[in-house]
Amino acid sequence: MTRVSLAKSSWLALIAAAVLLLGGCATQYPPAPSGAVAADYNYLIGAGDMLSIVVWRNPELSMGVPVRPDGKITTPLVEDLPAMGKDPSTLARDIEKQLAKYIRDPIVTVVVTGFVGPYSEQIRVVGEAAKPQILPYKQKMSLLDVMIAVGGITDFADGNKASILRTAEGGKQYSVRLKDLLKRGDVSANVDMRPGDVLIIPQGWF
């Protein structure tokens, strides 16, 4: 089993545990911290991302390419180069090393034009969201940003018993007040998200 497969398996185990918690949230978790992410966050390339690769003075080598499900890319003169988990600058340097075998002093720029991100950094929303889904993590992403993306909560949601499972902290959980944020406009209930967070929205008991 590859390192990527092992990491994905560990992450899936955490998600499975989160889903089991949807049946009841009797335990009260500590409130999620309002500030969670450092300003120097660097985006990491993930499978499914679209990349624009520009090779200076070599337009025939410049093109847009997708990152394959196995996390690799293929471009002219470069085959099966790992891209997933790298930032664009690191990938550009790796491409330059490969191209240096064929052209003199290549200068490469990599720009991400379609964002998915690596599995470990995607935001998952499960339970009573209007549109439960997976979202690419973005710097300074907030809980409100996530709720806008998923269309809010359903009429059956117990918004103030929602929680965030933080995979970056080994699966630690924090409570969040979605009802206060969305229905009452209480901005104090808005918190920062972190890469890999799972937002769990339970159903209320009526």
Together in a domain, 195 and 128? yes
Give the helix ranges, DSSP H, for the chain.
Answer: 3-20, 88-99, 143-149, 178-183
CB-CB contact of 127 with 157 (8 Å): yes
13 domain-assigned:
yes
> What's the domain range around 191?
3-41+119-201
CA-angle at 163, arms to 40 and 16, nearest 5°: 95
Q: How far apart are CA 161 and CA 163, in angstroms?
A: 7
153 domain-assigned:
yes
Domain end position, chosen among 65, 88, 114: 114
- Provide the CATH number for the domain around residue 83: 3.30.1950.10
Together in a domain, 171 and 193? yes
34 domain-assigned:
yes
Reported as half-sphere exposure (CB side, CA atoms, 13 A), residue 196 has a value of 22
Together in a domain, 72 and 145? no
> Three-state DSSP class for 25?
coil
Q: Which helix (H) or strand (E) holds 82?
A: strand 78-82
**Mean pLDDT (whole number) for 187-196:** 96
- Provide the CATH number for the domain around residue 16: 3.10.560.10
Together in a domain, 91 and 184? no
Together in a domain, 79 and 16? no
DSSP assignment letter at 100: T
For 11-25, 128-142, 164-178, which range has the lowest pLDDT when averaged over its residues?
A: 11-25
Amino acid at position 156, single letter: F
**Mean pLDDT (whole number) for 86-95:** 98
pTM for the full predicted model: 0.81
Together in a domain, 63 and 98? yes
**Mean pLDDT (whole number) for 140-165:** 97
What per-residue confidence (pLDDT) applies to 151? 98
Together in a domain, 109 and 13? no
Phi-psi region for residue 117, left (φ > 0), alpha (ψ -120 to 50) or beta? left
Together in a domain, 58 and 22? no
Q: Quickly tell me which residue has 């709720």 as its tokens.
A: 147
Ranges 16-20, 28-32, 179-183, most confident? 179-183
**Which residue, among 6, 22, 82, 19, has the nearest Cα to 46 in the 3D structure?**
82
Confidence grade of residue 28 (pLDDT, cut at 50, 70, 90): confident
In the chain, the number of structural domains is: 2
**Mean pLDDT (whole number) for 3-26:** 54
